[in-house]
Amino acid sequence: MAYCYEEPSRTFNEYLLVPGYSSKDCIPANVDLSAPLVKHRAGEKASLRSNIPLVSAIMQAVSDDRMAVALAKEGGVSFIYASQSIENQAAMIRRVKDHKAGFVRSDSNIRPDQTLQDVLDLKAKSGHSTIAVTEDGTADGKIVGIVTGRDYRESRTPLDTKVEAFMTPFEDLIYAEDGVSLSEANDILWDHKLNALPIIDKSRRLTHFVFRKDYDSHKENPDELLDEQKRYIVGAGVNTRDYRERIPALVEAGADVLCIDSSEGFTEWQQETLAFVRSRYGGKVKIGAGNVVDKEGFRFLAEAGADFVKVGIGGGSICITREQKGIGRGQASAVMDVAEARREYLERTGYYVPICSDGGIVYDYHMTLALAMGADFIMLGRYFARFDESPTARLNVNGNYVKEYWGEGSNRARNWQRYDMGGEDKLSFEEGVDSYVPYAGPLKANVNQSLGKMKSTMCNCGVTNIPDLHRNTKLTLVSATSIVEGGAHDVILKEPGGSMNR
């Protein structure tokens, strides 16, 4: 008969953290949430680290270039989704790397022969009032002027007025040449009391804008995650089908870390993909693999050359793999088992291979539990899909704002490569659903709140960093009765407005 684990397959909801002694220095302001993203020798620092232990999932509904920039500003990493053409994915990577810190590629551009109506339509679509006027209307065209809200009056300027008639022409613009430092650009902004400073190259082509508002934003993001050239760190997903073409293109585009995107990672296909990376790039290109749920799966991928291992099968909110195929494992059990294998591998080889927990997060405190159980960082899909910066549409459904969210295993994603088992180029059946998630607003406010809870919980446990959380915290299983006890009970709850529930 098949081998059967003696312990049940457990979820995060079945555990609580037990408080430990907290010294006076154990306060949220002193908590360090940085984490290694890639393999490194024991006692040494990883070559690539995140400043917060959160990464966004390799999903169409979650991780594009806009999400990557927003999350990097907070200290985390996005993995740009792989279920698109190689060219499109590489272009997203380049946009993130070109964004720099404080330098923004123009996403609102217009030709001089267009009209005020076109300006208003573009403003409504992008939400931006500063519009670059270029000869061909592209982001990197030859600049001929700029339009801001001060250049026209909607109530008095005819809508068919040509842009060239009311724009601020190039001759009157204050600009900086490509190669200017961010500090120098900000000085020009302040000296000339500007809201936006165009950056142009020697051919008079627009390369970036520097905005006054981003000066304050830069100061507000002390944890932003940058490479040696002060560009945002970004990851990318790859599959086990076209990796020979996709990986070189993504590396060329500037991806800092890759991850094989698959529902199940204990396969020869992943072994071959990792072997390709190691034979072509050695250790220069960083790539994670997964997903696995036990010790054997971890050892297989670690020995195959994975820089980190992703843990979790069937625990995502839109994943129905367990229902469809009957495979998987409770996320808490999976993380703890793999963490034990990671410890054994470290003792045997002297190398630490980080663990990424992927799936099973329902409440914010589950994030801290995942870290306490051994994860170094957490991959989240539903969590990030709710924010303004995710690529999906915000809709009003039955009076409530929601955002669309679908799984990579759904027919909508058309991502058969993620579930490839050597068959036809199509999904045999769905392993994900198409859904909505409640709209939650901007990423920054929500992430800061979640991290605030995490820091507070860690202080309750008497630790101020993730390695100490791994070593020095205690967990307890909870009964169904204690779960009820943990919430509000035996009271009459008030409505938000103050009236009582009936």
- Residues with catalytic function: 319, 418
How many helical (H) and strand (E) elements, i.e. helices and strands, does the chain have? 16, 24
Q: Which residues pair with 17 in a beta bridge?
A: 475
CA-to-CA distance for 308 and 377, rounded, in angstroms? 10
Cα separation, 266 vs 276, whole angstroms: 17
- Pick from 12, 11, 52, 58: which is nearest to 385 by CA? 58
Q: In this structure, which amino acid lies at residue 440?
A: A
For residues 53 and 33, give the distance between their C-alpha atoms in angstroms, rounded to a whole number.
6
CA angle 71, 357, 235 (to 5 degrees): 40
Residue in the structure block whose two tokens are 């190691």: 278
Tokens representing residue 49 in the block: 């680290």
- Contact of 408 with 427, CB cutoff 8 Å: no
Distance CA 182, CA 186 (A): 6
CB-neighbour burial class of residue 142 (10 A; exposed 0-12, middle 13-18, buried 19+): middle
